[in-house]
């Protein structure tokens, strides 16, 4: 970018300034795009964390249910004996 600025310095002042403004605007646009991308990625990360937490809850519920079924089966075996 610095090389471009020095190349443009050979132009007339108004043209030079307009090119500088264009370069600055372009960099600002790139920064905005990166910020939007960062926000999108943060949102996706939050959604994944939420899904992971929901899956952990489901796994815990399944474990509890499995334990209850095992206790029930053991109780049925004791009753039958």
Instruction: State the DSSP code for 76.
Output: H
- Model's pTM, two decimal places? 0.59
Query: Residue 48 pLDDT more than 90?
Result: yes
Contact of 39 with 17, CB cutoff 8 Å: no
Say whether 33 sits in a helix, a strand or coil.
helix
Contacts 24+ apart (CB under 8 A), 54-61: none
Alpha-carbon gap, residue 52 to 49, rounded angstroms:
5
Min mean pLDDT across 2-16, 30-44, 47-61 is at 2-16
């Amino acid at each position: 970018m610095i090389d471009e600025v020095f190349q443009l310095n050979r132009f007339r002042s108004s043209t030079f300034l307009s090119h500088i403004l264009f370069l600055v605007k372009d960099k600002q646009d790139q920064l905005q795009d990166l910020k939007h991308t960062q926000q999108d990625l943060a949102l996706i990360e939050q959604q994944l964390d939420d899904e992971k937490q929901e899956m952990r809850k489901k796994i815990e519920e399944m474990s509890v249910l499995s334990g209850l079924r095992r206790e029930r089966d053991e109780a049925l075996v004791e009753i039958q004996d």
